[in-house]
Structure 1
């Protein structure tokens, strides 16, 4: 399959798009011909997660043989990497509400679903492209992507990975996961700044000819493990297709019955994957975009104006503390009729003014499929408490944002309750001990680990072995830099592994 940039009509091979991540013009790669209505229930009925993944990904990556895809998928999705056989199980909370648990991977976050597979896709693409340079994966994280990318790429031959995270923008457990990362090809650095600072710097760096040439002279090329890379995004479509199969299999819906999906999102990749699943034929009714106090997306779905010139807030749901949502550009591309000339102009305007707007007709079409809602930190804690007290289910703050957004919308639009609704649970609750202690009135310990022991004793939720093992693991990475020093840090890392 060929891919094209959201900002031009130049086509590239899928393996080139996988390997390079971001287009040279700064746009994001999308399928030149999207596989619309390419999946039916009959295609996936009774199939395992791995089998569904092979079906879905064959629509995006046609340059790989069926055997090649299956080998990569089986290597990624197994009991070595996931604690459940069904990889992304559905938990029934209410008669018409299910929780899609996406946190059973190695790092207890939904990013594992893509980043367990992506290293195989990237290295296979590198081989097919005949690329001999070492690949340096550059990743900005607001919490979960960093650890999942580090775990996915650690010690993968021919690759190295540099992760940047904001000093005050991740939870203590997320920080511990990254600071204690093993692997000979990894580097982790905190920045004095926020996630948007790191993400925007890396996007500029990817299209900086001078820097790219400098590292190329040393036998190195840049790539990305953020969801700007189509190899990160496409595997996320799989779990929404698998959820559809499981809903029908459980008898929760009929095969032609619409269901809603609520996604807590900051960078827009996770909900875009659900939108892709819908375009491929999954009968998704409404897509509900849940935000925290950084509610730029909620405002867009209400007004049609995307305004990133706004205060940045640090919240209890740090992985959503994002104002400039990279994957929003892909969504806008489809909203605007796949018009790269307009998207280029819109993104240039956004860069200059901090705002962009769709037309009234476009907003009307969007609102037939999408709705946004946001909850603040106090509401998030209240949802965690309410769900636990009512159903005995412990949610992390991001999932609670999704549940809270759904509850708010249901009060305003009770017709949404007529459809079964799936809440995307994006992280294990134990990654956020302080928030849980506050919400459930549990005594905090002197360390995050002591807090988690208290939470486990009260709730009965088992302490995940991957998090428990961190307690006795030494810190490897404790370097903090100003955001202006990121380029220097990257070039120093290149020098270190190319000597």
Structure 2
């Protein structure tokens, strides 16, 4: 019966193939030059009934490679009997070993190979065949597989015993498929085999094409054959530009996104990040381990990691502050340090690293927590220096950072400076070749970055923008494909740029709304196309994380919207540095207006929104989220609006108490946070924030003068002491 089932499925596959192949071949626009020239095998893996054999035949004809079915073309000749007879002879328990031993004798090259559903369950056999090529996992929805097996009248597969359902067996097998694949193809529900084959070809083409691999600077420098690990370690390009992938932004269809609706945050994160990171640069299995380490109950206080819930009417809040430092920065910085450590450990010639970060308040604490959590146990020496404007962040943000001061971590306040000064001078230090050569010579030390100028810090943020939309679909607020709006309080433009990447991947955002405080350079630019800071002075506000005039990640956005015009980007940001302004072309400005909208709010508006929201909904927002809600209120439509809540209100307890007329004089930071809870708000107190603030930080407060030479002197002093 088992053998007959395979035979009949093959007949149906050949019929489907003949019916659709001609139309499909003529309509395909995939460049297969790099796929066909490879001598490696293409190895198709997946559950029984997922269509490996049919897809393999289509790929074979398209690529001009032989097709080999492990069942028919290897196991049966090797055993001298039908697969069904061998299964009856040795039973389910013995079949996997027998199959694996046979697989060890398999040798082929330049072929399309369709594995059996149980091959991946034998480690040695699978390791043997995986070395011969690229293992492609056909990730088919389980219900589709069960329906196919029922139509094929398959009622027994390897491992199925009395009382064990087909779904239980298929779920059990998933762990083995997840262990071995190089490239995952997310298949839509009831997707035709020809369409699946085209997805496989697209995936292989993107893996093999030299045009789609590697990275470049927004200002024109080609990083050659540098890969993801190199980009992580480097941070900023040598020409002062920001690093971006050479290839186009990856896409996910609505059907593929639908597959992710009922998944956990970690499952979604893996599937999104796999689109950005070539498996040859970082194995999916290694990426999965890092994701699982980053997002769990030990590091995040909410099981959904970034929960979305209804605030009022058609407005929804995505809480991005459930990580250890109560800021949205934790979401990237619980993952990125792990990836950085793996990259540093993989170097042929180990190097010491200094992570140099300018912060407007939240990034510093998240960087320190992430790197002290994951870098302490590595053999690579990784130091962290955080520079912050000494009078430009909240006292709680300051004390939270200083609690990490010591060991290989240093937190330095810059007197009389603002964030723009700190960020500009960090970039200047990165570009100082003499300093770099001196530190490499004396301490075998290189600089790197961990704020959003690092591409490795930026892409984990794409995940939570994808997942917020999927949550609304899961909760039946919208249907897949419905448009929504997103409002993000924006300073350095990294958060909303990640939302743009999510939109380009396929999330149906209608409007990406940039919300600014009185330092409204971004909203002015998005409304006029002119970026002009020549006569602007930074204002101190109660939302210090967006007290920024020079928004670094805007450079990446303009690079994409200009059609990757390096010279335009280089000229614009050189002009900004020298003259304090630049204009974009009418074409780029029109492209900006297609997706981006912007507005700003005063301090008074921010205060009023905090009060009214607490009164109307019982929800207490931090000042940055209040900036977002104030702007969102003005731009409501009939579409749902998600507001990104970027920090827990406890991080700004002093300012919020003052807004409600409650004095914080004489209070310690922990006492301020406790007093805030007397307002009876949601969200509840952040335990990890309290634990950090209860540490004595008075002796660790270090400051330096706001000039370049002083910053360089501090860096040399730190490296002399720690290396």
Match in the other structure for 1:342: 568
Correspondence for 2:691 = 469
The corresponding residue for 2:622 is: 396
CA RMSD of aligned residues (A): 1.5
- The aligned residue for residue 202 of structure 1 is 426
Are positions 1:233 and 2:458 aligned together? yes
Is 1:38 the counterpart of 2:260 in the alignment?
A: no
| Count of aligned pairs between the two proteins | 492
Tell me what 1:413 maps to. Answer: none
- What displacement does 1:45 show? 2.2
Q: Secondary structure at the match of 2:621?
A: coil
- Give 1:266's match in structure 2, choosing from 450, 466, 491: 491
Q: Residue in 1 aligned with 2:300?
A: 82
Using the TM superposition, give the Cα deviation of residue 387 of structure 1 relative to its aligned residue in structure 2, in angstroms: 0.5
1:99-248 matched pairs, under 5 angstroms: 99-154=317-372, 155-156=375-376, 157=378, 158=380, 159-181=382-404, 184-192=407-415, 193-217=417-441, 218-248=443-473
What per-residue deviation string (whole Å, max 9, x for no partner) do you get for residues 342-370 of structure 1? 21111111111111111223222211211
Check conservation: 1:443, 1:454, Cα contact below 8 A: no
* Residues 445 and 454 in structure 1, CA contact (< 8 A), matched pair in contact too: no
Q: Give me the whole-angstrom Cα distance separating, in 2, the residues matched to 1:243 and 1:460.
A: 23
Indicate conservation of the 8 Å contact 1:22/1:29, yes or no: yes
Indicate conservation of the 8 Å contact 2:491/2:548, yes or no. Answer: yes
Q: Counterpart in 2 of 1:289?
A: 514
Query: Per-residue displacement from partner, 1:321-356 (whole Å, max 9, x unpaired)?
Result: 110111111011012111112211111111111111
User: How far off its partner does 1:129 sit?
Assistant: 3.8
Structure 2 gaps of 5+ residues are 1-212
Report deviation, 1:288.
0.3
C-alpha distance in structure 2 between counterparts of 1:390 and 1:380, whole Å:
15
Higher Rg of the two aligned structures: 2
**How far is the alpha carbon of 1:34 from its aligned partner?**
2.4
Matched residues in 2 for 1:481 and 1:493: separation?
Answer: 13
Contact between 1:112 and 1:148, CA under 8 Å: does it hold in 2? yes
Residue 423 and residue 58 in structure 1: after superposition, are their counterparts in 2 closer, same or farther (change >3 A)?
same
Distance 1:354 1:365 in 2: 23
What does residue range 294-443 of structure 1 map to in structure 2 within 5 Å?
A: 294-309=519-534, 310-408=536-634, 410=635, 416-443=636-663
Question: Secondary structure, in 3 states, of the residue corresponding to 2:628?
Answer: helix
Shift of 1:460: 4.5
Shift in Å, 1:235? 0.3
* 2:270 counterpart residue number: 54
Structure 1 residue 182 displacement after superposition: 5.5
1:482 to 705, 708, 715: 705
SS in 2 for 1:417: coil
Q: 1:369 to 1:59 in 2, by over 3 A?
A: same
Contact 2:526 2:592 in 1 (8 A): yes
Are 1:250 and 2:494 counterparts?
A: no
Q: Which moved more, 1:125-134 or 1:361-370?
A: 125-134
Q: Tell me how far apart the structure 2 counterparts of residues 253 and 356 of structure 1 sit (CA, whole Å).
A: 40
Structure 1 CA distance for aligned equivalents of residues 345 and 672 of structure 2: 46
Q: Deviations over 1:140-159 (max 9, x none)?
A: 00000000001111153321
Give the 4+ runs in structure 1 shifted more than 4 A: none
**Matched residues in 2 for 1:438 and 1:180: separation?**
25
Moved more, 41-50 or 379-388: 41-50
Task: Give the TM-score normalised by the residue count of structure 1.
Answer: 0.96
The whole-number CA distance in structure 2 between the counterparts of 1:392 and 1:89 is 17
Q: In the aligned structure 1, how far is the partner of 2:560 from the partner of 2:607?
A: 36
**Deviation (angstroms), 1:455:** 1.8
The 8 Å contact of residues 442 and 455 in structure 1, kept in 2 or not, is answered as no
Q: Is the 8 A contact 1:189 1:477 kept in 2?
A: no
Q: 2: CA distance between counterparts of 1:131 and 1:206?
A: 21
Shift of 1:316: 0.3
CA–CA distance in 2 between the matches of 1:130 and 1:35?
30
Structure 1 residues 30-71: Cα deviation after superposition (integer angstroms, max 9, x where no partner):
111123323532342211111111111112221111101101
Matched residue SS, 2:515: strand
Distance 1:256 1:468 in 2: 41
| Map of 1:98 onto structure 2 | 316
- Relative to 1, partners in 2 of residues 1:406 and 1:472: Cα closer, same or farther, differing over 3 Å? closer
